A = this chain, B = another copy of it.
Amino acid sequence: MSSTLTISQQIRAPVARQLDLLETDLVRAYASEIGLVSAIGDHLAAMKGKRIRPMLVLLAAEIGRPDGAVSRKAALAVEMIHTATLLHDDSIDRSHLRRGLPTVNRLWNDQVSVIMGDHLFCKAFRVLHDDGLFDVAAVLSAGSDQMTCGEMLQMDLRRRYDISEAAYVEMAKLKTASLFGAACEVGAMIGGLGDQERSCLRSYGEGIGTAFQIVDDVLDFIGDASVMGKPIGSDLKDGRITLPLIAALREATAEEADRIRGAEWEEVVRFIKQRGGVEYAQAIAVRLAQAAKAAIAGFGACPATNSLALLAQHLVARNT
């Protein structure tokens, strides 16, 4: 059967029904008596994402014996938190395109985008509290707190061409991997798994989250904007120095490094490719994905763990 399914379909297969129901949950969560909220909600629902974070909750839960309604509620909260950060990122970056559609700040304005993001943040915790899912809320608020610390760290490191690979990885871990890790941990809790399995799944999530961010940063240099549904080159434009450039600069002479700081986009991309920055970053991402797979190898084969292993490979091989 698997030969007729795309890799994405194979990955989502064990929780496909749950993911379909999640789409309805999202539409319902975005509905509001306030016209503006419900109009934006419709737009967000149409802006279909990859739903990676909620899928992590559902797959991790599926390893154990989850209550389906509870894992879907946690998946809903994780996706709302993620969407809140997208609304804020697009607004402060003045981005006009996301997932192939105009952004909320483009269709409405920055103010609306920021406040709608706040609304989703608060509502995400509210839906968990309303259902008494306090341990889930605790893990997700800690993960979200780390995520925002990562975003602050990223701004602190802006235009710092001298940042180390370690500082970059630490930032990527906080900014992206902490929510991936929290999503997996929450799934493990809902599946009723033990402390050790919970910690393994968290490691898995953090590993693929860091790898995911590195690949994102690579694609911002070499991706195809039409495939990704958003423009490339925004990291460098905003002074975010990422792994492909960090690695390339390590191989450069002092004069070359000086020149690159003031160089045009095309020259920077050429420099990174010549100095092996893309391959280096990709290799680090692959290594992280392998380590993530190893972290859950002890669970033995089941549809959910197979999907998680496949997802780890797929995320580092993606072009979108």
Contacts and interface: CB of A to CB of B under 8 A. Distances in A.
Interface of A: 32, 34-37, 84-85, 88, 91-93, 110-112, 114-119, 121-123, 125-126, 129-130, 134, 137-138, 141-142, 144-145, 147-149, 151-153, 155-156
A111 B90 CA distance: 10
A114 B114 contact: yes
Nearest to A171: B34
> Top 7 closest A-B pairs, CB basis?
A129-B138, A119-B148, A36-B156, A92-B111, A122-B144, A134-B134, A125-B141
Contacts of A111: 92-93, 155
Max count, chain B CB within 10 A of own CB: residue among A37, A116, A126: A126
Given A121-B121, A134-B134, A141-B126, A149 B37 contact: yes
Stoichiometry, copies per complex: 2
Contacts of A126: 138, 141-142, 144-145
A95 B144 CA distance: 27
Nearest to A143: B122
A129 B119 contact: no
Contacts of A91: 114
A279 to B, nearest CB: 31
Given A92-B115, A119-B149, 20 more contacts: A34-B149, A34-B152, A34-B153, A37-B149, A37-B156, A88-B114, A112-B152, A117-B118, A122-B145, A122-B147, A123-B148, A125-B125, A125-B141, A125-B144, A126-B142, A126-B144, A129-B137, A130-B142, A134-B138, A137-B137
A298 to B, nearest CB: 29
A33 to B, nearest CB: 9
A85 B145 CA distance: 16
A85 B114 CA distance: 10
